[in-house]
Structures are given as structure tokens and as C-alpha cells.
Structure 1
């Protein structure tokens, strides 16, 4: 792969271009994109032209660019995330029927909880998690479950910090966090009030495939809501998702 004068491989520059997009920034000019990606203007414009030509990016009438449908299409082909989402979604809908708040599916990705799906009732309370968005492992309930069952090297890296406070209830002390992770492994569930937002409580359980924890299904409830019904519904959803994964294993 050809390198740039700075030593960056082409694939690295393409990834940097794609990473400039976010849930809040869905459209931008090639110049803005280049500045955010740390690329020379000529390089940014050339990469944008090439990515538009193959459908990875799309241009609007003002020549601003957005992520293209071709990228979505390629990402879903043979995707393990798609298989997981298809297995979990019907059972997440059952959780929603019970709790009428927020139900989410997350996986561990680069030391963060990456959310693959979110179902929300129109009258549900606060929730900052978004599909294709990330939250810190030590803050979100789904992240805590994923971290509890992660490879020891991942846990050691996260515990080494920094453990930033997302909300007043976020666990920022590594000793307390380590104890909490051990309790999650023992109990098979976490109830985490105020760790992401002061007004909410996160509840999460693990999802296993061939014995390994591959995801977490979580619910976001109002802070004062009893968690017991959500815990029962989430555990049932996790068990049903695991059965679906077994039945549809390639």
C-alpha cells in the first residue's frame, strides 16, 4: 500500500476520512473533512473524489459529502454484527413491551461499548446512546458487562485509566471498578444508577455464543424505576438470543 509523505498508508488515510463523520456531523465539505482528518487539502479532495466514484461517499447538490449507501451495503455483507442483531432484535422488542423505555444491544469494540441497535418508546426517559455510537466501558451498563467478561488484558488496560466521569455515578476508582466487575461476573447482571446520566439507571446482561460473551443487552430506565422487571426481561431476551444464534450458526 502506497504511503503518503508523512508515512501514512493509503488505507490509514481512508479510515481517517471516514472517521470524521459522526451522528452529529453527517455532511461536510471536502475541505472541512481534510482539516478534521489532518490531511493536505489536495490529498483530501483527491480521496473524496475517489471515494465518491466508488460509492463509499456521496455528494449533495452543494458538493458536500456524506457516507454513501455502498459503504452500508459492504459493511453488512457477511457481518457478524448483522447476524447478532437479527438474532437479538425480536427479543429486544419483547423487552420493550415490558419496560416501555430503551432497550439496546452493544458489543466490545476498541475498548468501548459500540451500540448496534436501540429501541425506544416515544415517552421514554433520557438516553445518550445511539446506534453506531460508543460509550466508555466503565460508565455504561452494557460496557460494564462487556468489560467484566473481556480478555484480562483489556480489563487491565481499562483499569489503568484514565477513568473519566461521564455522570456523578460513574465509577472512576479502579479498585472499586475491579470489585464491581467481579460482582457482575458472579451475578450475571449489572444495575448501574446514574453512571451515564444522573436521571437514569442502566441494567444489562451478557449474551453468549459458544460459551463466550459476545454482546450485552441493556435497558435504560428512569432513575427511580424498580429494575426487577427489566432484569427478568433482559435475561429472557439474552437466553432467546443465544438460542437463535445456536440455531443459525453457519
Structure 2
């Protein structure tokens, strides 16, 4: 998988841009990186990478262990406070736990992040903890059920798919989608049926079924279950998956309305106090 260094979306001449490139070097799933690897993956010269890494360590955004660096715990704490994802995760987590209890399959909640899906939440038991997915991790959207579901409903779907094809569809297994025509057929089917089924596209022997979670007129997350192929089917999992997605949608709508009303009341009180 590429990093933001490959996408030319940052300003490599700015200190902030280079710092973001260093943090983005971990997006492929690497836990710890030596300075030379950090420099290579980010595209930041080694001397600059060292100086910035030391600064990021002081800020708590990176941790240093001997000759290696890893993402700092402060990033996790900051991520928990992003309003949109915080509300979604707060509502979704107990419902996902119930779904796991019913299906005994790993349950994922994901959103689109450029050419990838970003996992916001995951519930899994010891027997089905998948190393390919973790909270805050990313996987190619074209390979995953969540990614295909989200691509199918994206308002800019043609542009997104064209960008994916131009970059080259990634291969995780022998059954990953590599033909643009096959991908387009799968997206059309997912949009029509309201679910996406992926079999061994991410990991041999495993399948995933995903449905959308509507967060607004054109904003979606995706909810999925992942387990050995024999345990994942439309007949077995779809009804429970859809019911959970609908409960998350209602919960997010109620929580968002409550928070907006509370903020409006607080603003009225502030204005009244200012007048008096």
C-alpha cells in the first residue's frame, strides 16, 4: 500500500507537511520503524526525519524504543475526540458487541479514506482476531467488503474508481479483484442489493459481508462481519447485520440531534448572560 508520500497531497517543504509524512509512514500497518525505514517510506531526508522524529517524540505523537519509533499514545487519545467518529463509535460499539454475540464473527465498522477503508471500530473474540484489521488500520477499498460497499454508494464513484484503476488495483490474495470490469460489476451489484460479499479477497479462507450505515444524505460508514468462509453467507448473516446497521443509524441521529439541541441551549444562555 502506498502512503501519503506517494499521493502528493502534502507540502513537503513545510515542517508540518514533513511531520505528517512521517506519521503517514506507519499507515501500511508497520508497528515499529527504524529511522532509515521511516525516511524511506515518508520520502523525508534522513537528517530531517531524525530531527522531526525527536520533536514528535517530545510531543507524544511518536514513541522511541531504542533504534525504532512507533506511533505515540497521544495520537490515540486525540483520535477518540474527533466529533464525528466519536459519536459513531460510542453508539456503534455496544450494538456491534451484540452482533458479535449473535454471529461469533469479527465485526468491523469502517469509512472510506481515499483509496482505502479506515477501521473505526472492531469487535472480535480470541478465536477470530484477524491480524489484517485493527482499529485505526487501513486496507485497500477494492479488496474489502466494506470498501466495495462504500465505493458503490460514493457520490463521486466514477472518479474514485478511475483513480483506483489508474493507480493499479492492489492484490492481497489470489482472489483479490484486479479487473476493473469485475470491480465495476461488483459495485453495481452492491449498490442494487444493499450489501457486498467478499470471499477470500483479503485473507485466504475468510469471507466478509458488509452493509451501509447511513450518516446523512450522501455520507456512509460500512458495517461488516468477517469469519471463515463456511460461516459467512447472506442467509445466515444479512438480517442481523442490517438490523444492527439500522440501530446504529437511529442512535447516531438521536445523539446528533441531542448534542445540537444542547449546544443551541448553551448558546442561548451565553447570549442572555452577555446581555444582562
Task: Indicate the TM-score class for this superposition, using the shorter chain for normalisation.
Answer: 0.7 to 0.9
Question: Per the alignment, in what secondary structure is the counterpart of residue 252 of structure 2?
Answer: helix
> What is the Cα deviation at residue 180 of structure 1?
1.6
User: For 1:1-250, what aligned pairs fall within 5 Å after superposition?
Assistant: 8-21=13-26, 25-30=30-35, 32-60=37-65, 62=66, 64-124=68-128, 128-150=132-154, 151-152=156-157, 153-160=159-166, 162-227=168-233, 228-249=235-256, 250=260
The structure with the greater share of residues assigned to helix is 2
Q: Deviations over 1:120-170 (max 9, x none)?
A: 122238662222221111111111101101123213323455223322332
Bigger drift between 88-97 and 160-169 goes to: 160-169
Compare relative contact order (CA 8 Å, sep 6+) and give the higher one, 1 or 2. 1
Instruction: Write the distance in 2 (CA, Å) between the matches of 1:138 and 1:45.
Output: 35
Note if contact 1:125-1:200 (Cα within 8 Å) is conserved in structure 2.
no
Alignment partner, residue 267 of structure 2: none
Tell me how large the CA RMSD over aligned residues is.
2.4
Q: How many residues align?
A: 244
Instruction: Write the distance in 1 (CA, Å) between the matches of 2:116 and 2:62.
Output: 26
Q: Deviations over 1:46-92 (max 9, x none)?
A: 212322222222334x3643322322233333332222111211111
Structure 1 unpaired stretches of 5+: 1-5
Instruction: Write the distance in 1 (CA, Å) between the matches of 2:131 and 2:63.
Output: 30
Distance 1:31 1:192, change over 3 A: closer
Instruction: Write the distance in 1 (CA, Å) between the matches of 2:61 and 2:135.
Output: 20
Bigger drift between 88-97 and 29-38 goes to: 29-38
Bigger drift between 150-159 and 97-106 goes to: 150-159
Instruction: Write the distance in 1 (CA, Å) between the matches of 2:29 and 2:166.
Output: 30
Note if contact 1:198-1:223 (Cα within 8 Å) is conserved in structure 2.
no
Structure 2 unpaired stretches of 5+: 1-10, 261-276
